[in-house]
């Protein structure tokens, strides 16, 4: 990994793009300090990540959007570690979109920690080096004798120290060093510790401002009426009653939608219910039951696209196999249901626009808004608020575009456009529906010799080419295709993985049972294969995968009897560069009903940055994964969502959440993300436990429909 840039001039804009296999994506002008500020201000920017005021207050910037994944704590921890400041003395500030200073200001793909590990530490180390240089100059000693501790430079020969606050002005005027190295892991003081969410105090006192809390002088509230069904167009509307309703200032028709603008959220919500709009069906209004049939039909035909992966000759191997195993799986649409419904503040004026709210993809959104409004990008500011969840919904920018349009069409007013929960659930961007079919062939020695995955997804492709056991099976083929739909779909926490893992891990369990092998031993043997005789591309490290699986078996007491009524199921999945194995433990009650009690989880995410954050991400991902697999689905009748709010779209509650026990594999590897990887193995672990308890194989979600659960 390249740690420095050789020729670096103060005002140069040098961007180090991702190196092969690596992730150094720091805009290097981010390391430059701003001397003009050093002359004028009390708060000095040492670089884009670090501000220190002359009284010694250290402020670390978090450039990435915070959606509950914890980056506003963990990313600044990387900087603080290298800067050598006490975490309790650090303040963290959220940066807005600033593509001059930062790269990759995005929340997605569990990538923030993975992509920032080198660059953010380098930012801290570089600032520290400049502070040392400033102190050495002041003392007229060599930099070699200087160290740092708790926000001060120490002269190791005489024990004298100068706090950073007294050095920051002179440090900021120095050339940015280019030969800085970062700490070795043995000397980490902060990384790996249990650090609480930096915003806890503000959250538990109700002071933290989410997008929905945005208020400005002269601000209006707005909400949008959308077509009741996908595929309908607005014919006419009668807004006489609405316009005259208390608190309503404007009603605007645009883009097949109607915006209601007024002085309070409730008043616009109420008024929206009173608008009499005529909608006309255009084309066929689709049903989810219809989709299921269409997907089945698509699966019965030969694939319309080339295979996504093809090792050996699956067809031949299947026909020559001594035993065949087959299973089909179906996934429903899912809504995102972030607890904070979609919303955005916009103030669009003649020559500029201010946008403020919850968005996972500010950079891409700004480009869209610029095109939409015909404004240059530099005239558009975007501030990312802490989000009441993202889960992929806020990768989309539809709600930002709407807010910008409403502000503009309403005469350039400042407006906060807030979706009702009903709009949020029925307004689209669902996790795609999928239909999968698996066929496997096993030889006379109970060895898996052929694997065929055939799938179709509504709105998005449903398969990944390299998912385990790819690489471990001599004849392996993945065929997938998309069924186009007018229903908007979107990534949803652990996209594709969220259902791939369920089906694949259930199918592996099925093969193991049908061939009378222990599901854990069977997986380990496959990993041996992938190591000894890899077939095609192997995207995972078989050793790391095996260690996680073995550890999960060990901590869960896999294979040991826990009494007649306790049953376990195993699943392991590699996603976003993180290895996770989970064991679900359920109890069969006296009435025969099942109750999930516990999930054991072992993760290899390389170096753990924030132990508390890491655990909570896994625990949350598991409970989220169980909740959706157990209870959630979004169905459509004639293009209209049947579920409209939490009374008919069931979310998991506390009494249904399993206990979770988490273990990490400590191997000193580069850290990877955890926002998503905990979720995929949860559902198959549970389904496999259900199989162990009942012999019934769950192949569709939500599981609650099986009638097996208490």
Is 62 or 337 the residue whose CB approaches ligand FES more closely? Answer: 337
Q: Which stretch binds other proteins (CB under 8 A): 52-60, 199-207, 400-408, 467-475?
A: 199-207
Q: How far apart are CA 16 and CA 672, in angstroms?
A: 20
As given in the structure block, the two tokens for residue 338 are 């972030």
* Strand, helix or coil for residue 60: strand
Which positions from 381 to 400 touch ligand FES by CB under 6 A, shown as an x/- string?
Answer: --------x-----------
Is 287 or 422 the residue whose CB approaches other proteins more closely? Answer: 422
Number of H helices, E strands in the chain: 17, 27
Within residues 397-436, the interface with other proteins by CB under 8 A covers 418, 420-421
User: CB neighbours (10 Å) of residue 63?
Assistant: 28
Single residue of 81, 166, 267, 509 touching other proteins by CB under 8 A: 267
* Gyration radius (Cα) of the chain, Å: 28
Is 193 or 379 the residue whose CB approaches other proteins more closely? Answer: 193
Q: Is 120 exposed, middle or buried (0-12, 13-18, 19+ CB in 10 A)?
A: buried
Residue 341 touches which of ligand FES, other proteins, none (CB < 5 to 8 A by kind)?
other proteins
Residue 578 touches which of other proteins, ligand FES, none (CB < 5 to 8 A by kind)?
none
Q: Is 323 in the site for other proteins (CB under 8 A)?
A: no
Residue 676 touches which of other proteins, ligand FES, none (CB < 5 to 8 A by kind)?
none
Q: Is 93 in the site for other proteins (CB under 8 A)?
A: no
Q: How far apart are CA 608 and CA 232, in angstroms?
A: 49
Residue 197 touches which of ligand FES, other proteins, none (CB < 5 to 8 A by kind)?
other proteins
As given in the structure block, the two tokens for residue 11 are 């005002």
H helix or E strand, kind and range, residue 414: strand 414-418
Residue 624 touches which of other proteins, ligand FES, none (CB < 5 to 8 A by kind)?
other proteins
Q: How far apart are CA 425 and CA 540, in angstroms?
A: 36
User: Where are the extended beta strands (E) located within 186-268?
Assistant: 220-225, 232-238, 248-254, 257-262
**Vertex 576 angle, CA 572 and 582, to 5°:** 20
Cα–Cα nearest to 45, from 77, 7, 93, 1? 93
Q: How far apart are CA 512 and CA 446, in angstroms?
A: 9
Within residues 530-589, the interface with other proteins by CB under 8 A covers none
Q: How far is CA 331 from CA 204, 290, 465, in A?
A: 37, 14, 19
Residue 269 touches which of ligand FES, other proteins, none (CB < 5 to 8 A by kind)?
other proteins
Q: How far apart are CA 57 and CA 62, in angstroms?
A: 16
Within residues 9-68, the interface with ligand FES by CB under 6 A covers 68
Q: Is 200 in the site for other proteins (CB under 8 A)?
A: yes
Within residues 349-388, the interface with other proteins by CB under 8 A covers 386-388
**Minimum distance of other proteins from residue 374's CB (angstroms):** 32
Within residues 617-656, the interface with other proteins by CB under 8 A covers 617, 619-624, 627, 645-647, 651-655
Single residue of 81, 340, 402, 582 touching other proteins by CB under 8 A: 340
**Minimum distance of other proteins from residue 58's CB (angstroms):** 21
Single residue of 339, 371, 696, 710 touching ligand FES by CB under 6 A: 339
Q: Is 542 in the site for ligand FES (CB under 6 A)?
A: no
Q: Is 710 in the site for other proteins (CB under 8 A)?
A: no
**Minimum distance of other proteins from residue 384's CB (angstroms):** 13
Residue 302 touches which of ligand FES, other proteins, none (CB < 5 to 8 A by kind)?
none
# binding residues, other proteins (CB under 8 A): 65
Single residue of 138, 209, 273, 562 touching other proteins by CB under 8 A: 209
Nearest residue to ligand FES on Cβ basis: 339
**Vertex 137 angle, CA 133 and 143, to 5°:** 45
The size of the chain, in residues, is: 710
Q: Is 621 in the site for ligand FES (CB under 6 A)?
A: no
Q: How far apart are CA 231 and CA 155, in angstroms?
A: 72
* Strand, helix or coil for residue 91: strand
**Minimum distance of other proteins from residue 542's CB (angstroms):** 30
Q: Is 341 in the site for ligand FES (CB under 6 A)?
A: no
Residue 671 touches which of other proteins, ligand FES, none (CB < 5 to 8 A by kind)?
none
Q: Is 471 in the site for ligand FES (CB under 6 A)?
A: no
How far does Cα 39 stand from its chain's mean position?
41
User: Where are the extended beta strands (E) located within 83-167?
Assistant: 90-94, 146-149, 152-155, 161-163
**Minimum distance of other proteins from residue 703's CB (angstroms):** 17
DSSP 8-state code for residue 489: B
Cα–Cα nearest to 639, from 256, 235, 288, 233? 288
Single residue of 297, 324, 339, 696 touching other proteins by CB under 8 A: 339
Are 682 and 625 spatial neighbours (Cβ–Cβ below 8 Å)?
Answer: yes
Residue 575 touches which of other proteins, ligand FES, none (CB < 5 to 8 A by kind)?
none
**b/e code 396-426 from CB counts within 10 Å (16+ = b):** bbbbbbbbbbbbbbbeebbbbbbbbebbbbb
**Minimum distance of ligand FES from residue 212's CB (angstroms):** 11
Q: Residue 595's beta-bridge partner residues?
A: 587
Q: Is 678 in the site for ligand FES (CB under 6 A)?
A: no
H helix or E strand, kind and range, residue 523: helix 519-532
Is 552 or 679 the residue whose CB approaches other proteins more closely? Answer: 679
Q: What backbone phi and psi angles, to 5 degrees, belong to 641?
A: -65, 130
Which residues lie near ligand FES (CB under 6 A)?
68, 339, 389
For other proteins, the binding residues (CB under 8 A) are: 67-70, 194, 196-197, 199-201, 203-210, 212-213, 215, 221, 246, 263-267, 269, 337-341, 386-391, 418, 420-421, 612-613, 616-617, 619-624, 627, 645-647, 651-655, 657, 659-660
């Amino acid at each position: 990994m390249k740690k420095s840039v050789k020729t670096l001039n103060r005002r140069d804009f040098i961007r180090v793009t991702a190196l092969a296999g690596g992730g150094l994506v720091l805009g290097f002008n981010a390391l430059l300090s701003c001397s003009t500020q050093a002359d004028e201000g009390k708060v000095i920017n040492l670089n884009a990540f670090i501000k220190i005021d002359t009284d010694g207050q250290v402020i670390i910037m978090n450039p990435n959007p915070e959606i509950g994944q914890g980056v506003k704590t963990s990313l600044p921890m990387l900087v603080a570690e290298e800067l050598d400041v006490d975490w309790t003395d650090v303040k963290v500030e959220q940066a807005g979109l600033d593509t001059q200073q930062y790269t990759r200001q995005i929340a997605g793909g569990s990538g923030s920690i993975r992509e920032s590990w080198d660059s953010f530490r380098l930012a801290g180390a570089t600032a520290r080096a400049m502070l040392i240089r400033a102190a050495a100059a002041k003392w007229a000693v060599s930099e070699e004798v200087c160290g740092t501790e708790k926000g001060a430079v120490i002269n190791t020969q005489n024990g004298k120290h100068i706090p950073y606050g007294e050095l920051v002005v002179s440090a900021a005027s120095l050339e940015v060093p280019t030969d800085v190295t970062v700490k070795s892991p043995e000397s980490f003081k902060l990384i790996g510790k249990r650090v609480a969410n930096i915003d806890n105090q503000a959250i538990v006192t109700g002071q933290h401002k989410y997008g929905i809390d945005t208020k400005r002088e002269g601000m209006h509230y707005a909400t949008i009426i959308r077509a009741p069904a996908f595929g309908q167009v607005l014919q006419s509307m009668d807004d006489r009653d609405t316009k005259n309703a208390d608190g309503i200032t404007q009603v605007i028709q645009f883009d097949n939608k109607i915006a209601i603008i007024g002085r309070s959220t409730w008043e616009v919500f109420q008024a929206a219910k009173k608008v009499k709009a005529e909608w006309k069906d255009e084309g066929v209004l689709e049903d989810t039951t219809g989709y299921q049939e269409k997907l089945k039909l698509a699966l019965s035909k030969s694939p319309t696209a080339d295979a996504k992966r093809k090792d050996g000759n699956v067809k031949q191997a299947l026909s020559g196999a001594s035993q065949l195993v087959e299973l089909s799986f179906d996934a429903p649409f899912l809504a995102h249901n972030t607890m904070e419904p979609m919303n955005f503040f916009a103030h669009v004026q003649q020559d500029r626009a201010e946008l403020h709210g919850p968005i996972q993809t500010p950079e891409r959104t700004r480009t869209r808004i610029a095109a939409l409004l015909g404004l240059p990008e530099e005239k558009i500011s975007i501030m990312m608020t802490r989000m009441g969840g993202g889960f992929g919904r806020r990768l989309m920018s539809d709600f930002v575009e709407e807010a910008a349009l409403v502000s503009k069409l309403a005469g350039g007013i400042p407006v906060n456009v807030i979706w009702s929960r009903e709009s949020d659930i029925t307004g689209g961007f669902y996790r795609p529906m999928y239909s999968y079919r698996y066929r496997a062939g096993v030889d006379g020695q109970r060895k898996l010799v052929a694997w065929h995955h055939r799938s179709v997804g509504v709105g998005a492709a449903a398969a990944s080419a390299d998912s385990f056991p790819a690489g471990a099976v001599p004849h392996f083929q993945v065929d997938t295709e998309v069924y186009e739909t007018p229903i908007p779909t979107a990534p949803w926490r652990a996209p594709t993985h969220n259902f791939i893992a369920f089906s694949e891990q259930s199918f592996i369990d099925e093969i193991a049972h049908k061939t009378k092998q222990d599901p854990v031993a069977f997986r380990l043997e496959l990993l041996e294969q992938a190591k000894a005789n890899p077939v095609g591309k192997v995207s995972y490290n078989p050793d790391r995968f095996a260690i996680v699986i073995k550890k999960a078996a060990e901590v869960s007491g896999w294979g040991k009897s826990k009494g007649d009524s306790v049953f376990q199921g195993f699943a392991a999945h590699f996603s976003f560069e993180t290895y996770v194995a989970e064991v679900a433990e359920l109890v069969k009650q006296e009435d025969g009903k099942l109750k999930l009690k516990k999930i054991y989880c072992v993760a290899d995410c390389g170096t753990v940055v924030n132990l508390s954050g890491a655990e909570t991400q896994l625990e949350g991902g598991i409970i989220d994964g169980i909740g959706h697999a157990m209870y959630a689905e979004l169905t459509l009748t004639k293009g209209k969502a049947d579920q409209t709010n939490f009374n008919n779209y069931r979310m998991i509650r506390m009494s249904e959440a399993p206990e979770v026990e988490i273990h990490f594999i400590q191997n000193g590897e580069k850290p990877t993300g955890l926002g998503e990887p905990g979720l995929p193995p949860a559902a198959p672990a549970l389904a496999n436990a259900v199989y162990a308890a009942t012999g019934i194989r769950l192949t569709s979600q939500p599981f609650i429909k099986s009638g097996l659960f208490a």
